[in-house]
Chains A and B, each alone.
Chain A
Amino acid sequence: MSGAHAAHSHAGHDHGHDHSHGHELPFWRKYIFSVDHKVIGVQYTITSLLFLLFGFALMWVMRFQLAYPGQPIPLIGKMLGASLVDSTGVLIGNGYNAFGAMHGTIMVFLGIVPLAVGGFGNYVLPLQIGAPDMAFPRLNMMSYWVYLPGGLIMLASFFTRDGAAQSGWTSYPPLSVVNIGGQTWWLIGMVFLITSSLLGSVNFIVTTVQLRVKGLSFFRLPFFVWAQLVTSFLLLLAFPPLEAAAVMQLMDRVAGTSFFMPGGLIITDVVQNQYSGGGSPVLWQHLFWFLAHPEVYVLILPGMGIIAEVIANNTRKPLWGYKALVYSAIFLGFMSFIVWAHHMFMTGMGTTLSTFFQFTTMVISVPSIIILTCFIISLWGASIRYTVPMLFALSFLPMFAIGGLTGLPLGLTASDIHLHDTYYVIGHFHYVVAPGTIFAMFAGIYYWFPKVTGRTMSSLLGKIHWFFSFIFINGVFMPMFFQGMAGILRRQYDQSYQLHGASAQGLSLMASWSAWCLGLAQIPFIINFFYSAFAGKKVGNNPWEATTLEWSAPSPPPHGNFATVPVAQCGPYEYSVPGRKTDFLPQNPALEA
């Protein structure tokens, strides 16, 4: 620890020095090209929330086509470009596919990951370990300024002649290579986004290992920090293969290579001699899912970290099985690298490979179950405060359970034969990431808002937001399991075109209307967010009576974070320690005073 401490004090000194000149920084250095992890965290949060809203809005349009196939989109139909709609304002097949591909891409790569890691990780992690900033502040700034252009490139592709990418967020070749549309833009955008994630992950790992304050041993770290640490390793190790694959696909599109293109393709009855052939479309799938399965845990782990903080704080007792949580998160991270081919059971995979991947898939369910078990056992003997963050955190638990459980029939090859590529899959992963991760993100926003702004969000608006979101999000995704059972396939522009799809058409209406109402349910949140930032009730440094180090910093923390360098005297969740006047024992003794 002494080495880490020395490094920290050194960094702290540097920042103290910076800070003395901080007020002299011009606006653009302070708020635009800032190296302060908190400003970068807020930049990431705002940007990614806007992307989330945009990605969600794409779905409103798609859900109109699914509910009322072939009818003109009301209000905005005629305003959309020719690559998306016909002259009467009806969404066309290419437009639907572009919206579908971009919805997935935006939600995952521009929404949740930047929010969970770039936003929450950046803002909270250094504070929770008592550090004055990230280990590499300039790298941190660069990470955001590589992410933003990546996102803008993705958005810009909508305005090109042929529209945005149309081959799904998975971009399977040969379709993605031969398709017109913005696939080239998509690939270039992805290279930016991956680079941004890599820059961030290195920073998080070094910061966590090197900048912990005195007394903050690894097993005294809040679970949120552990979750971010494991997530960073996943990003660092899983993204490079996709970056390489994206460049290879880009070369297939623009430079005449054939990494993923077999020979002898005949497209619209014309033999395609421009591809030399010899490539394998399945190779892309392996490279893609080698990233994209760990990516699932990148999406969920930071959420679990937030849930841990909120549950401990609002149950007023230590998390049950802290070490089991930590070991499970590490094991989960490791296992996530060896399950990827369960996305590919239907490619013609034989029994040898599928036996391995089915088995690892069953194994990876174990740490997830342990994590969920630890959370729900933590409720036993608690004194539960039903705050807004806690309502979202409590909702996360059954929603994540549904998402996890419905992974079972997909992870087993036999049941996957029927359910593969159906709406069952869509329901399954959305339960994990929408009422799962996104609810965790909401919990985190309501929870740390007072730290970021010094003001608290309205509890009434928060509860309205939670209640209607909870109802309608289930209205969106629960029907999908039934539709999937009925055999409705994903990525269908008109589900009713097929007999089994038409028969389950009523469920599409239910999901669509729920999705639009879910949109309305976000209005209280948007109002609350902006109103509270400027006119919310002012609160002290530790409004939730929490224990972890970030609450001993001023709200909002100044550049350099802590007035005096904190120390950690105990574990992260010492709530309701017997024989004390208050029901929380802060990690930083200064907070008690």
Chain B
Amino acid sequence: MMLLASDTRYGNWLPPQLSTHGDKIDHLIFVLHVFMAVLFFGWGVYFTYCLVKFRARTGHAATYEPVKGGASKLIEVAVIVFELIVLFALSMPVWADYKNKPPAASENPLTVHVHSKQFEWQFHYCGPDGQFGKTDPKLISTSNFIGLDENDPNSKDDLQFVNDCHLPTGRPIRMEIFARDVIHSLSIPTMRVKQDAIPGMRIPIWFTINKDATTANVSKGMVQEFPLARTTWYRIRHHVAAQDYKNKAGDIIVKAGDYLGNDLASGKEIIQKLRDAGNETVSLRPGNPLEIVCAQLCGNNHYTMKAQLKTLTADEFEAWQAEEIKKKNTELEVDF
């Protein structure tokens, strides 16, 4: 399992896995790839043997009679049996839970409405009353981007955010996904969650984030040394320095928690300065370790459609929510 298991970092293999159902998906991916490798390796040995053994040469002729033997049938049957096992034992049960087992009310799920538009994710929280306030497209504005009707009593404790999503860990989350203009697809790679958002449809999904997978915890495990000689700015553009870096004169090149430049030119410059200061590696961690992205082509800026995901313990989440509601109501009072 270790061979294919994701660790807590991003790289050239599966991203970190932080949801309760995700291990089963990774397990299936693992089983399938072991199967493929075994089959391909077996074929490869036979294939290579044939290429050498049966090459045309003087004194060697092909045989007309077809080779007999049950091995190929046996392998074919074995492949079919394997596929059926994978299908019925490893794929369908996971999918059935993913699709047919919404969290029960007794589990106190958090429901979030996710609205998607070119090129934003909007998150609508219903607040402690558990009731979503009415929305109306006519009310959409730069400050009220989902068009929430503040006159609706249910709206009082509702919160809305653009490209910024807070979720509690260890508590079931139910998202209802809407699209306003074209098809989008909500993808949270670290949660093994993906669901298209289709105009005219309201599509629910649910998942639970592992209890200890708070952003703070995850960040700690993601500190990584990058060799400066082989690292391009593109590779580390979402990373921040894990410590202060100074040049030989003692001036700060990059402070702990700062990004290494905000474009290619400034990034290159900082990387060069770090090398000039005698560093061979640089210790970095992702600035925002968890993202929600769009998986379905939705226009020219499709790639920019991403939201930061911040995971908090259930208590921290409640505190954050209460704070945000307080903030919103003071702002509204100021407005009046």
Contact = CB atoms under 8 A, between A and B. Distances in A.
B291 A577 contact: no
B118 A267 contact: yes
Nearest to A509: B232
Nearest to A495: B303
Given A383-B60, A576-B61, A280 B200 contact: yes
Interface in A162-181: 166-168, 172, 174-175, 178-179
A24 B227 CA distance: 74
B62 A315 contact: yes
A504 B12 contact: yes
Nearest to A166: B300
Interface stretch (A109-117, A408-416, A517-525, A532-540): A408-416
Interface string A378-394: 01111111100000001
A313 to B, nearest CB: 11
A13 interface: no
Nearest to A280: B200
B325 interface: no
B32 A486 contact: no
Contacts of A491: 297, 302
Interface residue tally of chain B, by bracket? 35 or more
Contacts of B232: 505
A17 to B, nearest CB: 42
A32 B335 CA distance: 76
A86 interface: no
Contact of B181 (A265, A347, A358, A377): A265
A204 B180 CA distance: 46
Interface string A4-34: 0000000000000000000000000000000
B54 A415 contact: no
Interface string B117-151: 11000000000000000000110100000000000
A500 interface: yes
A482 B15 CA distance: 11
A414 B24 contact: yes
Interface residues of A, number: 106
Given A377-B67, A415-B29, A483 B291 contact: no
A81 interface: no
Nearest to A95: B300
29 contacts: A93-B303, A172-B183, A174-B182, A174-B199, A175-B183, A262-B201, A271-B138, A281-B183, A281-B199, A318-B66, A320-B67, A351-B95, A362-B83, A369-B79, A386-B55, A398-B40, A398-B47, A408-B86, A409-B33, A417-B192, A418-B14, A418-B25, A418-B192, A418-B194, A421-B185, A491-B297, A499-B238, A503-B11, A504-B12
7 tightest Cβ-Cβ pairs between the two chains A and B: A262-B200, A93-B300, A487-B189, A503-B10, A414-B94, A379-B50, A412-B91
Given A97-B302, A362-B83, A503-B9, 18 more contacts: A172-B297, A174-B182, A264-B200, A280-B200, A281-B200, A351-B96, A362-B87, A369-B79, A373-B72, A408-B83, A414-B28, A414-B91, A415-B32, A421-B295, A493-B302, A498-B238, A502-B238, A578-B64
Interface of A: 69-71, 92-94, 97, 166-168, 172, 174-175, 178-179, 262-269, 271, 277, 280-282, 315-318, 320-321, 346-348, 350-351, 354-355, 358-359, 362, 365-366, 369-370, 373, 376-377, 379-386, 394, 397-398, 401-402, 405-406, 408-409, 412-415, 417-422, 482-483, 485-487, 489-500, 502-507, 575-578, 583
